[in-house]
Amino acid sequence: MTNALQFDGIEKSFGGVPVLRGVSFAVGAGRTLGLVGENGAGKSTLMNILGGNLTPDAGLMLLDGKPHAPSHPTDAARAGVAFIHQELNLFTNLTIAENLFLTAFPRTAGVLVDRRTTHERTAALLAQVGLSAAPDTPVAQLSPGERQLVEIARALSMDARLIIFDEPTTSLSTRETDALFALMDQLRARGVAMIYISHILEHVLRRCDDIVVLRDGAVAGSGAAEEFTTARLVSLMVGRELTQLYPSRNGAPTGETVLEARRVSQPGVVRDISFTLRRGEVLGISGLMGAGRSELARILFGLDPHTDGAILLNGEPLHRAAPRRRIARGLAFLTEDRRHEGLCMDASIADNVALVSLRQHAGRVPLRLLNLRRWRETIASIREAVRLSPQARDTQAVSTLSGGNQQKVVLAKWLLARPAALILDEPTRGVDVGAKYELYRLILGLADDGAGVLLISSEIEELTGLCDRILVMSRGAVRAEFSRAEFDREKLLEAALPREVAS
């Protein structure tokens, strides 16, 4: 078997701290290699070296048997290396064609943009990836799955021989995920090598030919995919057997209602939503993408309007109350988009943690000066509570943290606010299995302390492992409700399907 890519002894340190330690493995031509590891294991650093964003301290890379040492991302792109990122790098205000040829438009006489050729080449590329949209369609009008196909079409336009998929199914529906996998099979048949990075281990085992596990910057295990099981992957990733993924509960729901929705409706978004959330309860919301789960969360938190119905917190209506007022009254919301809505990415860990509760640590009016000693003690306490990485400094920008540690910072922010009810929208998206356990522990700890938790998740196993009850949404309405004794994967999936499909 010939190798499309080979890493040989790659090393990288930041500030004297080793991040990659002698990483060596190869990706065969026309094969898909699954690269897994906890957040902070070194996957992103290794891919940044491959893509020309970082330079290794030691080691060698070979691409099709030739030395590969890109000093800039454009060097890697010219060599045939393409990236399909979790956060898609598309300009939504531009058309598909403009995104595909942004830096290399076909030109007439080397000067004017050849729009006819651009249109024809775009149409041909879209046909290859199975996207029926017109070349002049604005990217803003495309679904997440369609945008991902545009990214792959762009990779094909560059004649990519090696494509790296970084958490590609995070924002995709089941149908879009299946379409992506089918396209990956076509690429593999054409001889394209692929690196598939994902925290969804079942996808890695099912879709990849070979697997490499990174732990603490070194290769902890490698081999053909059939040599691995989920249990072995987890053990290699975290360095120990993780026999219990979901922590045990200490408390139980009480009869007191903390959050209630009464026939909440918004035309075209949600219809006649009613539920109660009790203190100490974890209430799950399941459903397919587009079912209205996130839209409901935004309405409950006051970010989006609703025309009918009522929302009550601790028995008091929240009619037209702004999010600031809802926070003050004990409602918290962890958004699914932590990078753009949950965190100030360029601000420090301490500043992000302080966003909601800083006023509580200020002195009396009129000066309202911050009690720095007390604040530092609070920061240290909450860091320990969420088990934030000891290597992360309070003054460090959250953009430099792994996904799991970023999510812990968001939770720390809300933990300090001591909410009566907490809405969690996809809280473990893009988080590795080890960090998931820590987040689960925090979520159940909130419930054990008496808070009501509304948990929105696309992972049925996560919902059945954590929740006391599950509501299933479809097309903006609640279609079914299941108690813990009634949890059944097939029934949950069936309830989530649109009625004409389910029947």
**pLDDT on residue 71:** 92
The number of C-alpha atoms within 13 Å of 236 and in the hemisphere containing its C-beta is 22
Residues 6 or more apart whose Cβ sits within 8 Å of residue 200: 169
3-state helix, strand, coil in the chain (%, to 5): 35, 25, 35
Phi/psi at 350 (nearest 5 deg)? -60, -45
And the tokens for 18?
Answer: 């080793």
CA distances from 321 to 300, 304, 309, 328 (A): 10, 11, 14, 10
- The residue with greater pLDDT, 250 or 25, is 25
Q: What is the pLDDT of residues 30-88, one digit of tens each?
A: 999 999 987 778 888 899 999 999 999 999 999 999 999 999 988 998 999 988 876 56
Q: Residue 500: is its pLDDT beyond 60?
A: no
| CB distance 123 to 467 below 8 Å | no
Per-residue tokens: 35: 């690269």
Q: Is the pLDDT of residue 208 over 80?
A: yes
Kindly report the number of other CB atoms within 10 A of residue 66's CB atom.
8
How many residues are given for the chain? 503
Q: Using an 8 Å Cβ cutoff, are 69 and 54 in contact? A: no
For the full predicted model, state whether its pTM sits above 0.75: no
- Residue 501 pLDDT > 60: no
Please report which confidence band the pLDDT of residue 384 belongs to, taking 50, 70 and 90 as the band edges: confident
Residue 221 pLDDT more than 50?
yes
The number of beta carbons lying within 10 Å of the beta carbon of residue 332 is 23
pLDDT at 363: 53
Closest CA to 469 of 259, 261, 286, 250: 286
What is the distance between the alpha carbons of residues 31 and 4, in angstroms, rounded to a whole number? 9
**pLDDT band for position 362 (50/70/90)?**
low
- What is the bridge-based pairing of β-strands 308-313 and 257-266? antiparallel
Picking from 446, 487, 481, the residue whose alpha carbon sits closest to that of residue 464 is 487
Average pLDDT over residues 15-22: 86
pLDDT digits (tens, 9 = 90+) for 397-452: 888 887 778 888 888 888 888 889 999 998 887 676 777 787 888 889 889 989 99
- Residue 339: band (very low, low, confident or very high) from pLDDT cuts 50, 70, 90: confident
CATH of domain 3-238: 3.40.50.300
> DSSP secondary structure string, 3-22?
EEEEEEEEEEEETTEEEEEE
Mean pLDDT, the chain, rounded, equals: 85
Between these two residues, 90 and 206, which has the higher pLDDT value?
206
Please work out, in degrees rounded to the nearest 5, the angle formed at the alpha carbon of residue 113 by the alpha carbons of 108 and 119: 105
pLDDT at 502 exceeding the cut of 50: no
In the chain, the largest separation of any two C-alpha atoms, in whole Å, equals 76
